[in-house]
Amino acid sequence: MELRPATREEFDDFSRAAMSAFHREFSDEDRARYEKIDEPERSLAWFDDGRIVATTMAFTRTLTVPGATVGCAGVTAVAVVPTHRRRGLLTAMMRRQLEDVRARGEPVAGLWASEAGIYGRFGYGVGATQAHVVARRPAARLAAPPSPGGPLRSGPAGEHLEAMRAVHDRVRRDRPGMLDRAGPWWPDRLHDPQSLRRGAQPVRAVVTDDGYALYAVRPEFDEDGAAGNVGVRELVAVTREARAVLWAFLLDQDLTRTVTWELAPVDEPLWLMVTDPRAVRRKLGDGLWVRLVDVAAALAAREYATDPEVVLEVTDAFCPWNEGRYRLAGGACEPTDADPDLALDVAALGAAYLGGPTLHELAAAGRVRELRPGALARASSAFRGEVAPWCPEVF
């Protein structure tokens, strides 16, 4: 058995192994997509007698954190084929990957978990929560008609790429959890093959000067008449006026009964914008999982609502270089021998890192221990961000 990066020439074998573990066939369509975004030098694969039996890879991304951006390894394609499970291959592969991420100087790694029970043991915590939003038409009506803004434009998504790029870049710098979309990432965001549409029409965009929405309509009729759905892929707005204009457009599509958004931010205000809040249902779930690969560098990189002035005792059995006590104060984070104020493991620290789950909430869940009275309240307030973290794209 050998663990090493897969080469570009081994791309097809790597992809087949990864997708087979997710019960999917590797198609020509998949090849055309992944050839544009894959970074073979950041892959890892277990080879058994020349055959790839386990995979993982990382994308080189930039992640927004409170008040700053940091280099982030976007972990993806984590898979072990069924014949080789329960042998420790995944654990060894994930440890090697985090060592490689550390060597590259990226303080943070992030991923989307297909099975949520796996990644806590590797030090990942749920750093961003998502909301699945379903609005029922015609009950979901905006309480206040939106103020007229700039021109509203709609059409095939690709025709509005530059306008959406500009809006996204304005918003993502202030919303923790969002990622840059340099190079191939905007074209990949608009990837819209027939095989993934689930009966919907091609993705379209509606754009204002300060916002945009990506959406696709699935036409449908039943015994009660028109029952179509407007599926929102992404809605990004700089101003509340732009958000209202976009929602007014999406909620006014003829021949539809519902508007759904599977990956909305947890603080999406639509239910407060309509006359009947029960016309908008929300279901919460985990979104981006965050792993601090270099605790000191990651904590020093972000800003805080107030000065935390706290000594953290961090346990990290999977990446022992992180184990120890850190003094976080005055915009710096340094190792220390001082008595700790709070004790927590690195997964809980990753969960709190973007300003989502608070240290208070994590303490209530038994994930943080207060060792000095008053430290929990002070640190929890400092870590909290102005807006909820949100990652709108699965990678």
Residues 92-118: tens digit of each pLDDT? 999 999 999 999 999 999 999 999 999
- The residues, ordered by sequence, that sit 6+ positions from 72 with a Cβ below 8 Å of its Cβ are 61, 62, 63, 106, 108, 109, 110, 179
Q: Which of 119, 122, 326, 383 is catalytic?
A: 119
- Go through the domains of the chain in sequence order and give each one's CATH number: 2-128 (3.40.630.30), 130-285 (3.40.630.30), 295-383 (3.30.1050.10)
* Segments in the chain forming alpha helices (H): 11-21, 28-37, 89-103, 161-172, 185-189, 240-250, 270-273, 295-301, 346-353, 359-364, 375-383
Q: Please, which pLDDT band fits residue 150 given cuts at 50, 70 and 90? A: confident
The residue annotated as part of the active site, out of 59, 304, 326, 395, is: 395
Strand partners, 153: 207
Q: What percent of the chain has pLDDT over 90?
A: 97
Residue 254 CB burial class (10 angstroms; 0-12, 13-18, ≥19) = exposed
Q: What is the pLDDT of residues 297-330, one digit of tens each?
A: 999 999 999 999 999 999 999 999 999 999 999 9
Q: Known catalytic residue: 395?
A: yes
For residue 147, the model assigns a pLDDT of 81
Task: Report whether pLDDT(148) > 80.
Answer: no
pLDDT for the residue numbered 151: 87
pTM of the full predicted structure? 0.96
Confidence of residue 361 (pLDDT cuts 50, 70, 90): very high
Strands (E), 299-359: 310-315, 324-329, 332-335, 342-345
383 is catalytic: no
| Sole residue written with tokens 């206040």 | 144
pLDDT at 149: 67
Span 168-204, pLDDT tens digits? 999 999 999 999 999 999 999 999 999 899 999 999 9
- In this predicted structure, what is the pLDDT of residue 100? 98
